[in-house]
Structure 1
Amino acid sequence: MSFGLVVVIGVGAVSTAVSSASAGAGEGRLNVDAIPADARHLASWVVRAGAMCPELNAPMVAAQLDLESSWNPAVVAHNPADRGGDAVGIAQFQTGTWATWGGDYDEDGRNEPADPEDAIVALGRLMCDNIAWAQRGVGSGQLSGDVLDLAWAAYFCGRRCVSDAGGATAFDYPQQVRSRTGRYTLVASVGAWQFPLPAGSYELVSRFRTASRPSHDGVDLAAPAGTPIYAVAGGVVLDAGCTSAYCDRPGNPELGGCGLRVNLNHGGLATRYCHAVRLNVTAGALVQAGDVLGWVGSTGNSSGPHLHFEVHLHAPPMSSATAVDPAPYLGL
């Protein structure tokens, strides 16, 4: 296992990230600046924990620590004995759980949940074992749902609790972790952004999750039909195609789906482009910023020609939990 320091210099600011050499989800780069100043010395331990299995990464571990303790290694949550007793430290381990997953990983002579370095690594070990348990359960049909959600739910209340509940949907813990992950993810691979429509061709008609549209996970940019849709940054086409019952003609507000849609993976960040009249790319294609993905239309759940555009952090996979406001990225 190897670790490196990545320094990204922008206009007027320096942002620091610690990255892991592991593959898969472990490629997530930790935004150290998001960690409270008095806990930033723990960043290398977060990276170590996030590199323990391919499905996990450092921003996920950081998000979980944020949720468990707000990075406070001295916090104690008092629980009755029949609920496992007190939960202690930065990762909120209970005595019985610590007996299995704890250890003196930093060789300082301390082996207790109040030792933050040990607790962070123990969290990684337990999460990876939970992930393996969830994969076995899903594979055998005994569990259903997203493997990470099942693993996070098991960290929260135990595996038997998750099994008895029939999955992870009964718990909001997984979504709370997901909602914090973007804050700890440094996206430095996308380069300069291209606006997704030509200058002067669009009007912003709907923003991200307004009071009247709380489930609107992007921004709507009205533009004439046939206006080219550009990739905002270089990436790989995750998928491109029709997501509605039909896409050979304009849709309507009663029709479900995004119409003709393109999803792009930029590496730790993904973007979505909806309601095109025609597409110019296929899944697996490599694109650069400014490449034409398709042309504005009104397919799917739409009342007129426009581009619905989304930004997702810590993605893929893309879901409402990973969506963030695109406005700061587009300068809107």
Structure 2
Amino acid sequence: MSQIPVFDGHNDTLLKLELGAGTARERSFFDRAARDHIDLPRARKGRFAGGLFAIYVPSQLGDALKVRYDPDDPANFAEVAQPDALAFTLRMFARALRLERESAGEVRICRTAAEIRAAMAAGKLAMVMHVEGAEAIDADMTALEVLHAAGLRSLGPVWSRPNIFGDGVPMACPSSPDTGPGLTDAGKELVRTCNRLKIMVDLSHLTEKGFWDVAAISDRPLVASHSNAHAVCPSARNLTDRQLDAIAESGGLAGLNFHVAFLRPDGANISDTPLEVMVRHTDHLLARLGEDGVALGSDFDGCMVPRAIGDVAGLPVLLQAFREAGYGEELIEKIAWKNWLSVLERTWA
């Protein structure tokens, strides 16, 4: 099985750890667990070298910012007040900092591409801080400046709900991604500020109009960290060929999302989804983006992954499927980690 390392574009592991804190589902990141997707032992088994670790604020925050979470409740898509979102974001950021401190050097929060490369070379887990949905950011960008100083290096303006910066697409299939308005004036200023601070702007979850607003404003590569090909699975969360062509023209990339409902042509939540459909998406992305524009954006700990992969330890199974589909080792290395490092270097330069 492949020994190629993986640097991945998206996971929700910090949220899973937060949701479990103080409950029967509490677990340590440093011990192998029989549930969820990422912990350090399974990461090592799967050659998971690191990635973008998301800070996402659920809509249902209660007393003391504890989360009341029911995935089938429409209230999960309600707007979140900025002070509450900032408080929860800071708590999640502190959790990441504690993980780094308690890891005895095995986990490193990386703020530059050189730091990622050094961590990977030393066999340490490279964690890049990402905010998914900018509810924590105020219109004058004060919170953004502080979070950047703390280590924030990637930000998605929206999740699949509205905020002061724009609208997100629903988790709908079949559906066009053209589901609502684009960026607000505040959202356009957010993109400009991220460019100035060299924070990567993540296009996953944005409406199509919002995508084109970013494309018109940003002077950095266009990146969708965890989105698939709409031509293969007609989910609103996936990218049309026109969007993919714009990403290619900018020198950006798209990260293959492992969520079965964003992979399957029928949009169903069925774990027995064959890896062949992941290869079909990758083939399509390669055809539109080229070999330098395709990466992985698993959405581990935030989705249902194909049973054949299971969790982060199963990453070599996917790379083997690429190999069996005729991908050469150089291309697999690009998809697995090299393309992410390249786009981050160019975005943060």
Superposition TM-score, scaled by structure 2 size: 0.25
Q: Quick check: which has more Rg, 1 or 2? A: 1
Which structure would you say has the larger RCO, counting Cα contacts within 8 Å and 6 or more residues apart? 2
Query: TM-score, normalization: structure 1?
Result: 0.26
Richer in strand (by share)? 1
